[in-house]
A and B are shown apart, each in its own frame.
Chain A
Amino acid sequence: MSSSSSVLGRLRLSFHRHETKLACLLFVLGIAIAAAAPRFFSSVNLALLARSMGVLLIVSVGMLNVILAGGIDVSAGAILAVVSVVLVRLGNHGLPASVVLPLGLLAGAGLGAVNAALIAELQIPPIVATLGTAGLFRGLLLEWTQGEWESSIPPWLNSIGSPRWGGLDASVLAAALVMMAAAWILHCTQIGRALFRFGDSPLAAARTGISARQPIYFAYVSLGLLTAIGAVFYAAQLGAVQGNAANGYELTVIAAVVLGGADILGGRGSLLGTFLGVLLLSSLQQALVLLHVAAFWQNIATGAIVLLGVILSSAPLLHRKLLLQQSPSA
């Protein structure tokens, strides 16, 4: 096999057709934005866009793991809030960053493990399990904070969120590192491949010797951990947190991943697609803010673009299924 054809093959594999379509959609949106709000492409605004994308991208990569494994997690927003408040409260009590940060990450991974245990051990459907834990996590958090704001954050957390490097902050760097690590795990490790297999066909996965629990734990714990990493930058950028923080955030995350071409039934999805989904949602939001569009129109536009993206991705599948039905199977 010549090396050029294998390179082409790999290109084709990583550049699944859906991503091409998303890129086109993004291009069209870019032209529209350039016409309506040329300020969007100023370096200041682009840096702002990158900063606003960091947290969403980090959490979305975790959600991609879960969706690849055929699951869903609607408690991600609650986990984000819990970890944010833990970080800020403990920091404000004077604990050093070297203690608070590991504790925060541990809390995120632990909450993810709770979800995984409910799903893997008790066989509760993911949507039900995480709906339950979402209420539980959020309620316990509100009980703990008594609904009060943490209106100041420790200085070390403040410095994490402050812009440097030409308007970019540490969240952009972290998102890039997370993407690279995820690419390696999803494509070059057994546990990463097992996510695809388990989500595609749990029966076939069991018959090839894949554990029925390991992929679930990996997916939900990694989402918890990545949500905790996201929470660090979320709190740092906002400068204040409260128990109701990130309410409904999980829906934006799921929208980004699904827009990125992930199959909600599992087994299919890519990091590149997720990146493009996040980029598309964030740019749209940013542009609408620049254009002073009312908030409810932002919701409408976001909803419409998610539907459009999903229709684009499912159309060829439908087409193919029809073709297969018509042709007599061999």
Chain B
Amino acid sequence: MPPSALLEINGIWKYYGGTAALRDVSASLQRGEILALMGHNGAGKSTLVKILAGSTRKDSGEIMVEGRSLPRGVREAREAGIAVIYQDLSLFPKLTVAENIAGEPTGRWSYSLRASKRAAASTLQRVETNSPLLACLDRYVEELPLAMRQRVAIARALIYDSRILILDEPTAALSLQDADHLLAYVRKLARGGVGVIFVSHRLSDVRRIADRYLILRDGAVALSATPAEVGGNALARAMFGEPEENDANEPDRAAGLTRSNTPQDILTVRNGTRRGEFNNISLTLRAGEIAVLTGLTGSGRTEFAESLVGLRRFESGELRISGKPLSFSGPRSAMRHGLVYVPEDRLTSGLFVRRSTAENLVGATKHLRARFSFSRKETARADAGISNFGIRCQGAESPLETLSGGNQQKVLLARWHLAAARVLILDEPTAGVDVSAKSEIHKRLREWATTGAALLVISSETDEVLDLADRILVFHAGSLVLDGPRKEISREQLMAAMLHGSAVAEHAPAQARSEA
């Protein structure tokens, strides 16, 4: 029998409610190996990380560390040598740097502030030369800038001699220089025998550091291979899925669009810029058109969308609605001009989940007044919304929390439809809804567009982009790298633009196929 691997994952399943977040995931990690864990938002990366860290239970399957089964629990995982740096860092902002790094609970009952400070200092000296954190061991973490906080989280993960280090998007918030430093350090650890799982969107980082790729898609392993075995294109294919065969019938819909002759410009942005988020963005949204904006997490697409409705401000650049230069102080003033932003997190920032469906539907119209009950007109409007959008609920009075995710999303869309929005910006409108609700939502959005509204849909799902868009916009590292009609853009071009920021794919033939 060969010596057991450092980490062995066998057939892990995990369900949230009825949906499977992980489907039969198996993988292994050797000593000294750097495994890049990749996949789209919602592909199951974070769930896998949480299960390895012991903070989430798996439903079935087996995890072995050096041949021994991993017991449940966070401290147990830690004692087995697994250390995690979470994307949200999970620090204690009101405690000092030293306590964050070295104050982790141990089996003992006693605690010494002085000892934890010494341990923190020695770890910092080990991790990086002349760490700036050494000077602020007594400062509170909430006082530190983000890059410094990241260093605190890294030091915390490295304070014990961990054998397995899991980094969840460690470089996302770092400057290039800091990221370089981190990558070099991770490589050094790996040479010393530590197994590293590196979760990242940044393909450039992954290419430089990974010994092996593990790609998840829809909760299942889509690819497990060494860099020598796969080209960049296969990597992208595995992440985004195989092209579907229905590309051919797409032009039909585009033709339908041109029937609404002379598309009218509704919203125009010229040279919109926010330093560090996006640069010199110029684009136009036209009546009757669905533009889908895509890009990897951190590409600046959400920040840009928020700037359109005044949740952030353009530092420079100009926004025009129907030719009039405008700037909004927030969603309320944007609404007055018919511009509506529907954020991704519908439960916390979109809906009133404890209130009735009817109240949610008419919540954005001006006719709602404080009365003992709805007026007949409002009830009629709510009923119209329910039937128009095919919302399945037990009557207009049923609390929204009793509806399924897809139906909640339809309520949100119906609300803005009732409020007669002219420009609609939707951030991930189909995130977390089932397939049938998704196609229904797409259908409603297309109908909506034909009534003369301009839609900007933000999506990270390649299939959705290709399926829904009349026009495709791609952000990469804060720049608009691709802007064109759907029928002129192939899946390969789209993926190349998302991953590398280049509109030109490394391989030309694909383009020819879609032109045919």
**Taking beta carbons and an 8 Å cutoff, which residues of A are in contact with B?**
1, 6, 9-10, 12-13, 187-194, 196-197, 200-201, 203-210, 263, 267-268, 320, 324, 327-330
6 example contacts (A-B, Cβ-Cβ < 8 A) are as follows A189-B111, A190-B110, A193-B99, A200-B92, A209-B105, A267-B93
The answer to whether A208 touches B93, judged by C-beta atoms less than 8 angstroms apart, is no
Asked whether B74 lies within 8 Å of A200 as measured between CB atoms, the reply is no
Chain B CB within 10 Å, residue with most, of A201, A204, A324: A204
Q: List B257-271 residues whose CB lies under 8 Å from chain A.
A: none
Q: Are B90 and A203 closer than 8 Å at their CB atoms? A: yes
Residue of B nearest to A267 (CB): B94
B74, B78, B114, B148 interface centre (most CB from chain A within 10 Å): B74
Q: Are A196 and B92 neighbours in the complex by a CB distance under 8 Å?
A: yes
Residues on A with C-beta less than 8 A from B145 are 324, 327, 329-330
Given A12-B138, A13-B138, A209-B73: A196 and B94 interface contact (C-beta under 8 Å): yes
Given contacts A197-B103, A207-B86, A328-B276, contact A188 B91 (CB under 8 A): no
Does B161 sit at the interface, judged by CB under 8 A?
A: no
Given contacts A207-B55, A207-B74, A330-B146, contact A200 B111 (CB under 8 A): no
Q: Bound complex: CA of A193 vs CA of B110, how far in Å?
A: 10
Chain B 75-86, CB-CB to A under 8 Å as 1, else 0, gives 100100000101
B95/A190 in contact, CB under 8 A: no
Nearest A residue to B148, CB-CB: A330
Is B105 a contact partner of A196 (Cβ separation < 8 A)?
A: no
Residues of A within 8 A of B142 (CB): 320
| Most interface-central of A6, A209, A268, A329 (chain B CB within 10 A) | A209
- Assuming A190-B110, A206-B55, what are 9 further A-B pairs, CB within 8 angstroms? A188-B112, A190-B108, A193-B111, A196-B95, A197-B92, A200-B95, A205-B92, A207-B84, A268-B94
Across the interface, do B74 and A194 meet the contact criterion of CB distance under 8 Å?
A: no
Q: Which of A200, A268, A330 has the most CB of B within 10 A?
A: A330
Main secondary structure of the interface of B (DSSP, over half): loop
B147 within 8 A of A: yes
* Complex: chain B residue closest to A68, CB-CB: B94
Look across to chain B and name the residue whose beta carbon is closest to the beta carbon of A327: B145
Closest chain A residue, CB of each to CB of B78? A209
B27 within 8 A of A: no
Q: In the complex, which residues of chain A have a beta carbon less than 8 angstroms from the beta carbon of B137? A: 9
User: Which partner residue on chain A sits nearest B142 by CB separation?
Assistant: A320
Shortest B117–chain A CB gap in Å is 8
Chain A residues near B113 (CB, 8 Å)? 10, 13, 187-188
Determine how close the nearest CB of chain B comes to the CB of A246; give it in whole angstroms.
31
B440 at the interface (CB under 8 A from A): no
B349 close to chain A: CB less than 8 A: no
B506 beta carbon closer than 8 Å to chain A:
no
A208 touching B105 by the CB < 8 A rule?
yes
Task: Please name the 9 residue pairs, one residue from A and one from B, whose CB atoms are nearest each other, closest first.
Answer: A209-B75, A209-B74, A204-B90, A330-B147, A267-B94, A200-B92, A268-B94, A200-B94, A330-B145
The contact of B90 among A6, A188, A192, A201, by CB within 8 Å, is: A201
Q: Is B143 an interface residue (CB 8 A)?
A: yes
B121 within 8 A of A: yes
In contact, A329 and B103 (Cβ under 8 angstroms): no
Contacts of B110 in A (CB 8 A): 188-190
Q: Which residue of A lies closest to B89 (CB)?
A: A204
Chain A proximity mask over B108-148: 1 for CB below 8 Å, otherwise 0: 11111110010001000000000000000110001101111
Interface residue B96 (Cβ < 8 Å from any Cβ of A): yes
Residue of B nearest to A330 (CB): B147
Of chain B, the residue at the smallest CB distance from A328 is: B276
Q: Does chain A have a CB within 8 A of B275?
A: yes
Q: Bound complex: CA of A194 vs CA of B99, how far in Å?
A: 11
Interface string of B416-434 (1 = CB under 8 A from A): 0000000000000000000
> What is the chain A residue whose CB lies nearest that of B103?
A193
Residue numbers in A under 8 Å from B112 (CB-CB):
188
B90 to A207, Cβ gap below 8 A? yes
Closest to B112 in A: A188
The interface residues of chain B lying within 8 Å CB-to-CB of A209 are 54, 73-75, 78, 104-105
Are B114 and A6 in contact (CB-based, < 8 A)?
Answer: yes
Across-interface contacts of A328 in B (CB, < 8 A): 275-276
**CB of B42 to closest CB in A, whole Å:** 20
What CA separation (Å) do A153 and B148 show in the bound complex? 61
Q: Which partner residue on chain B sits nearest A205 by CB separation?
A: B92
Chain A residues whose CB sits within 8 angstroms of the CB of B104 once the complex forms: 208-209
| In the complex, B53 has a CB within 8 A of chain A | yes
Give Cα A78–Cα B167 distance, bound, in whole angstroms: 49
Q: Which residue of B lies closest to A329 (CB)?
A: B146
